[in-house]
Chain A
Amino acid sequence: MQIFQLLLPLLFVCNLFAYPNYSDAIKVKKIYPMGERIYQKRCHTINVKQYKEYNTLLEAIQKGVCKELSPRYQEALALYLWDHKDQKLTRKHYPSLSVNHTQKCPVCGMFLYKYPRWVSMIEYKNGKKFYFDGLKDMFKYYFEHPQNIKGMFTRDYYTQETIAVRDAYLVLGSNVYGPMGNEFIAFSTQKSAQHFLFDHKAKKIVRLNDITKKMVYKLDE
């Protein structure tokens, strides 16, 4: 019992500065943007690399240049910096999916600029890029010319950020229609794909390897 009485306050003290327990959504949507703004506006002198632990980083922020900030801001800054420490390693750079007013989809011939949310792209190794107004048309092209592909890209339905089709979770049979009717709806995480499946009465989630030519053409029926 004596040991517990000693350990308990120790545990408490350790937990006080431990990495806080926020959900991913709150971190991405609320804390990181705020931390980024604080970092850019006030505290861009901090070098994250020199801190081995989250606690020491937070302590340094509390005692250093940003000590006049309120604790809420200090925490946001610390979380942002800590979680983006290895940013250059983890973050992937995808080409932008912007199209001009003359570009058309090579499969259906529709103008692409009218449906910017659905633009998808195949990049070949010889540098050629083809833009499509939806994943369905892109897969039709893909099954005709599957060789020498460098990458395939589309947008995450919820965040509208560019993602690689290779990593995407594609949802079939939902009540959301693209410019060409039934579509594959792409998501970067399985969780958001599942939420979408549930919300929009979709049928199933597939990955790139599961997709067959038959499956693509079945969407047109």
Chain B
Amino acid sequence: MNKINFYLLEYAYGYIVRHKNKNIFIVTVFTLLVALLCTLFFITTSVSFELQKRIANEPDIVVQNYQAGMPTASTNAMLDKLLEIDGISGGNLRVAGKYYFRKENTYFNLVGIDPFEELSNKFLQNIVDTTDINSSCMLVSKDVLSIMKKAYYSNYFNFVKADGTLVKVPIAGSFSTEDKHYLDKTILMPKELLRKIFAYKSNEGSDIALRIANKNELDFLTTKIRLLFPNAKVISKDDSVLLYKNLFNYDSGVFLALFTIALFTFFIIIYDKANGLSSEEKREIGILKAIGWRVEDVLHAKFYEAALIAFFSFIMGFILAYIFVFILKAPFLGNIFMHENLLNIATFSLNVHIEFSYVLLIFLLSVPLYIAATLIPSWRVATMDADEVMR
């Protein structure tokens, strides 16, 4: 039992090849099933991992001013009032927003930067620190540059203000967003310039980002700010974590449904297989016994056969899922995560992040079951008399 019996292994391989059609069918179904389950888990773990990283880059508390139920400009006075609260260790008035470029029918994300203020996003902070942009220029991401070039803007861009006048902004340079697709279509420019484009007054901004040194205070401070500005929308980091968690629970429900259906199908196949062997297979076992094989040897050969098929299919399924999710970026299944304004699968880079507990779960649910489903009926036949089986 300790060593692999290569004669039996060869026999098992021969058996698989002899029953080509049946085994190809089993391998196909098995592979597709493992691939489907792995795909689902790969997508969820990868997306939630990336979301966690994104949330880590967000400010601890975001305060957005509302008027008549609509988002409106926040002011410097609000920020000063917030900074007076103990526990808030810093913050800044952010100027950021979307600009609709009608000609190409896309939105640009305009982010106002201040060279002497700290941004919560480390990646953007790094870009701001390494490049020196003066007060009248902008930095654009590579995809924005190509969109602008399509509209024949290669050195500058004309932003149309609300009153119809133009603001001409030269392009100082471009930066690559690497795998951070949520930063696609980003334009960085000084706050003063952006205020001009968005028609904010000099003491106004789009929202306020706050930093908190002691995360224990996050909840308390959020409620305190809500009382201080009753009509403002206060979003803490915990809130956004919870929001995404709920979203994932919902999606996991859809996934769970798929998962159970797939497993159920698999069990039907197993049941069918376990229910009995064909007369041809029975006769083969009978002949083996007649020429002197022990029950042990028969089971050994059958074990090799089942293990060969199960492992081969499992590995194939795993590789297929890997290629589908991480190389092809999940063309159809990823759309399960499409939520308007919340999550867009296109903004996720689906980096390789695999939780092996899930892979182990799929492995344990499929491979041992399949081996058992092959062994049990063979054992039932092998324990019978050889002539009884062949008759």
Binding site for B on A (CB under 8 A): 23, 25-26, 29-30, 33-34, 37-38, 41, 70, 73, 76, 117, 157-161, 176, 191-192, 195-196, 199-200
Q: Does B84 contact A (CB under 8 A)?
A: yes
Between A and B, 30 residue pairs with Cβ closer than 8 Å are: A23-B84, A25-B83, A25-B86, A26-B84, A29-B83, A29-B88, A29-B91, A30-B79, A30-B80, A30-B90, A30-B92, A34-B117, A37-B115, A37-B116, A37-B117, A41-B115, A41-B116, A70-B192, A73-B116, A117-B216, A158-B214, A159-B89, A159-B213, A159-B214, A160-B214, A161-B213, A176-B216, A191-B86, A192-B86, A195-B86
Known A37-B118, A196-B86, A199-B224; 19 more pairs at CB < 8 Å:
A26-B83, A26-B84, A29-B88, A29-B89, A30-B80, A30-B83, A30-B91, A30-B92, A34-B116, A37-B116, A37-B117, A70-B192, A73-B116, A158-B86, A158-B213, A158-B214, A159-B89, A160-B214, A192-B86
Q: How far is the CB of B205 from chain A (nearest CB, A)?
A: 14
Chain B: CB-nearest residue to A193: B86
Chain B: CB-nearest residue to A25: B84
Cα separation A30 to B117 with both chains bound (whole Å): 9
**B84 contacts across to A, CB distance below 8 A:** 23, 25-26
Chain B: CB-nearest residue to A159: B213
**B281 contacts across to A, CB distance below 8 A:** none
| Pick from A26, A34, A70, A160: contact of B213, CB under 8 Å | A160
Cα separation A38 to B118 with both chains bound (whole Å): 12
Size of the B side of the interface (Cβ < 8 Å), in residues, is 22
Cα separation A34 to B217 with both chains bound (whole Å): 25
Q: Is the CB of A158 within 8 A of B217?
A: yes
Cα separation A41 to B125 with both chains bound (whole Å): 14
**B216 contacts across to A, CB distance below 8 A:** 117, 176
Q: How far is the CB of A158 from chain B (nearest CB, A)?
A: 5
Tell me the residues in window 80-139 of chain B with beta carbons closer than 8 Å to chain A beta carbons. 80, 83-84, 86-92, 115-118
Q: Does B264 contact A (CB under 8 A)?
A: no
Cα separation A172 to B217 with both chains bound (whole Å): 17
Cα separation A197 to B78 with both chains bound (whole Å): 24
- Contacts between the two chains (Cβ within 8 Å), count: 57
Tell me the residues in window 198-224 of chain B with beta carbons closer than 8 Å to chain A beta carbons. 213-214, 216-217, 220, 224
Q: Is the CB of B90 within 8 A of A29?
A: yes
Chain A: CB-nearest residue to B224: A199
Cα separation A161 to B216 with both chains bound (whole Å): 15
Cα separation A158 to B21 with both chains bound (whole Å): 71
Chain B: CB-nearest residue to A200: B220
**A37 contacts across to B, CB distance below 8 A:** 115-118
Residue-wise interface mask of B (219-244) relative to A, using a CB-CB cutoff of 8 A (1 in contact, 0 not):
01000100000000000000000000
Tell me the residues in window 282-322 of chain B with beta carbons closer than 8 Å to chain A beta carbons. none
Binding site for A on B (CB under 8 A): 79-80, 83-84, 86-92, 115-118, 192, 213-214, 216-217, 220, 224
Chain B: CB-nearest residue to A34: B116
Q: Is the CB of A199 within 8 A of B220?
A: yes
Q: How far is the CB of B189 from chain A (nearest CB, A)?
A: 15
Q: If the complex has contacts A26-B83, A26-B84, are A157 and B91 also in contact, measured as CB distance less than 8 A?
A: no
**B86 contacts across to A, CB distance below 8 A:** 25, 158, 191-192, 195-196
Cα separation A76 to B115 with both chains bound (whole Å): 13
**B87 contacts across to A, CB distance below 8 A:** 158
**B91 contacts across to A, CB distance below 8 A:** 29-30
Cα separation A176 to B192 with both chains bound (whole Å): 42
**A199 contacts across to B, CB distance below 8 A:** 220, 224
Chain A: CB-nearest residue to B93: A30
Q: How far is the CB of A70 from chain B (nearest CB, A)?
A: 8
Cα separation A33 to B211 with both chains bound (whole Å): 13
Cα separation A63 to B145 with both chains bound (whole Å): 39
3 tightest A-B CB contacts, nearest first = A160-B213, A37-B116, A195-B86
**B217 contacts across to A, CB distance below 8 A:** 157-158
**B224 contacts across to A, CB distance below 8 A:** 199
Q: How far is the CB of B80 from chain A (nearest CB, A)?
A: 6
Residue in B86, B214, B217, B220 whose Cβ sees the most chain A Cβ within 10 Å: B86
Q: How far is the CB of B53 from chain A (nearest CB, A)?
A: 21
Q: Is the CB of A33 within 8 A of B213?
A: no
Q: Is the CB of B80 within 8 A of A26?
A: yes
Cα separation A70 to B80 with both chains bound (whole Å): 20
**A159 contacts across to B, CB distance below 8 A:** 89, 213-214
Residue in A76, A158, A160, A191 whose Cβ sees the most chain B Cβ within 10 Å: A158
Q: How far is the CB of B89 from chain A (nearest CB, A)?
A: 6
Chain A: CB-nearest residue to B192: A70
Q: Is the CB of B214 within 8 A of A157?
A: yes
Cα separation A11 to B199 with both chains bound (whole Å): 37
Cα separation A33 to B83 with both chains bound (whole Å): 13
Chain B: CB-nearest residue to A191: B86
Cα separation A216 to B172 with both chains bound (whole Å): 62
Q: How far is the CB of B300 from chain A (nearest CB, A)?
A: 48
Cα separation A38 to B115 with both chains bound (whole Å): 8
**B90 contacts across to A, CB distance below 8 A:** 29-30, 33
Chain A: CB-nearest residue to B79: A30
Cα separation A37 to B217 with both chains bound (whole Å): 27
Q: How far is the CB of A120 from chain B (nearest CB, A)?
A: 15
Residue in B117, B118, B214, B220 whose Cβ sees the most chain A Cβ within 10 Å: B214
Chain B: CB-nearest residue to A155: B214
**B88 contacts across to A, CB distance below 8 A:** 29
Cα separation A158 to B118 with both chains bound (whole Å): 20
